[in-house]
């Protein structure tokens, strides 16, 4: 019985030792289990997209100092721009094309971005994974868009991510057919709308009036209608004022007859034929009753 217990202990000890050895040997693979990721993982052809790559530091005590993301060579993308990221300084590497490629927010170009490189800013104390953001447009008419990423640590060790041999796995961006309502859905072009913009309203084709002419006609009609209404209001006000003045100018009616008493005349002096004008008191002449003269 004692021998059985001893053999069981030895077997358990051997299993623990084998598991520990396996964990030590497999630690690098476990450290890279999460790996480099990006969002979104899917976008529409012909539109624009804002990408965010997350690159973790997976070596304890050693920080990542440089990250390079290479764009696909074929098909090329006309517009690729890095966005501001705290603690990292971006740089753009370009290449020349034999045939210009259509842009989305600008004209066709024969100079495109080959790679984006971020270097850690001196004295940066940011901890955790690097989160690098850039925008692309217009997305090509293809099903997938592969990237290659090179991660350089402070001690010079480089880790390569991608879909090629000897690279750690980095899945491609999946591209789906674009919405026909978007101007960039058929390969992009100057003046296209971003991916998150609403579809442009449909306009009438042929020789009919366009939206600008209809808007102008509406404005003219509105201004004309406002002028007519203003003229009518002004006319009614003038008529009301004329009626008020005519009422004030009417002569007081004779009591009991309802007829005007006739024009007011000044009384004549007997025997002279001269009319006496009765002076109206002024403010200076008026005094309170009972005041001494």
Mean pLDDT (whole number) for 139-151: 97
pLDDT at 261: 45
pLDDT at 42 over 50: yes
3-state secondary structure of 107: coil
Q: SS3 of 60, please?
A: coil
Which 3 state secondary structure label does DSSP give 14?
A: helix
Is the per-residue pLDDT at 228 higher than 60?
no
In this predicted model, what pLDDT tens digit does every residue of 72-115 receive, in sequence order?
999 999 999 999 999 999 999 999 999 999 999 889 999 999 99
Q: What percent of the chain has pLDDT over 70?
A: 50
Q: Between vectors from CA 229 to CA 227 and to CA 230, what angle results, nearest 5°?
A: 65
**At residue 275, does pLDDT exceed 60?**
no
The answer to whether residue 282 scores a pLDDT higher than 80 is no
pLDDT value of residue 180: 65
Which tokens go with 152?
A: 């350089």
Count of residues in the chain = 293
Confidence of residue 127 (pLDDT cuts 50, 70, 90): confident
Give the residue among 173, 113, 104 at the shortest CA–CA distance from 143.
173
Asked if residue 117 lies in contact with residue 91, where contact means CB atoms within 8 angstroms, the answer is yes
At a CB cut-off of 8 Å and minimum separation 6, what does 175 contact?
Answer: 42, 43, 44, 45, 139, 140, 142, 143, 144, 145
User: Residues 120, 64: contact at Cβ < 8 Å?
Assistant: yes
CB–CB of 132/53 below 8 Å? Answer: yes
The pLDDT tens digits for 252-271 are 444 444 444 444 444 444 44
Q: Is residue 225's pLDDT more than 90?
A: no
Closest CA to 112 of 78, 68, 137: 78
Report field, pTM of the whole predicted structure over 0.75: no
Could you tell me how far CA 216 lies from the centroid of its own chain?
Answer: 28
Which of these, 73, 200, 232, 255, lies nearest to 147 by C-alpha position? 73
Q: What angle do CA 169, 173, 177 make, to 5 degrees?
A: 150
Q: Tell me how far apart the alpha carbons of residues 129 and 134 are, in angstroms, rounded to a whole number.
A: 16
pLDDT for position 5:
54
Residue 237 has pLDDT above 60, yes or no: no
Tokens of 123: 């004295």
pLDDT of residue 14: 53
Whether the CB-CB separation of 151 and 134 falls below 8 Å is answered with no
What digits encode the pLDDT tens for the residues 180-224? 665 444 444 434 434 443 333 333 333 334 434 333 444 444 444
SS3 82: strand
Say whether domain 37-181 belongs to CATH 2.60.40.2230. yes
What is the per-residue pLDDT for 234?
Answer: 53
Average pLDDT of span 125-140: 93
9-32 tens-digit pLDDT: 555 555 544 444 444 344 444 444
């Amino acid at each position: 019985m004692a021998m059985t217990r001893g053999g069981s202990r030895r077997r358990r000890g051997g299993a623990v030792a084998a598991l520990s050895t396996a964990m030590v040997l497999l630690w690098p693979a476990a450290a890279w289990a999460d790996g480099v990721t990006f969002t979104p993982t899917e976008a529409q052809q012909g539109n624009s997209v804002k990408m965010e790559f997350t690159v973790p530091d997976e070596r304890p005590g050693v920080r990542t100092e440089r990250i390079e993301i290479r764009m696909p060579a074929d098909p090329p993308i006309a517009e690729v721009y890095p966005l501001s990221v705290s603690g990292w300084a971006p740089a753009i590497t370009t290449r020349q094309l034999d045939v210009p490629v259509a842009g989305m927010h600008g004209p066709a170009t024969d100079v495109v971005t080959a790679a984006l490189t971020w270097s850690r800013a001196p004295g940066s104390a940011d901890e955790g994974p690097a989160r690098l953001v850039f925008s692309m447009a217009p997305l090509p008419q293809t099903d997938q868009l592969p990237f290659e990423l090179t991660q350089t640590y402070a001690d010079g060790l480089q880790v390569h991510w991608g879909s090629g041999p000897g690279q750690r796995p980095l899945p491609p961006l999946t591209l789906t057919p674009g919405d026909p309502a978007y101007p960039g859905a058929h390969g992009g072009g100057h003046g296209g709308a971003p991916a998150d913009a609403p579809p442009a309203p449909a306009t009438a084709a042929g020789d009919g009036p366009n939206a600008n002419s209809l808007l102008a006609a509406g404005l003219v009609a509105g201004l004309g209608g406002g002028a007519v209404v203003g003229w009518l209001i002004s006319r009614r006000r003038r008529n009301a004022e004329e009626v008020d003045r005519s009422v004030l100018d009417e002569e007081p009616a004779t009591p009991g007859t309802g007829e005007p008493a006739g024009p007011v005349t000044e009384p004549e002096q007997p025997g002279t034929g001269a009319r006496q004008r009765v002076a109206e008191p002024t403010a200076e002449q008026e005094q309170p009753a009972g005041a001494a003269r």
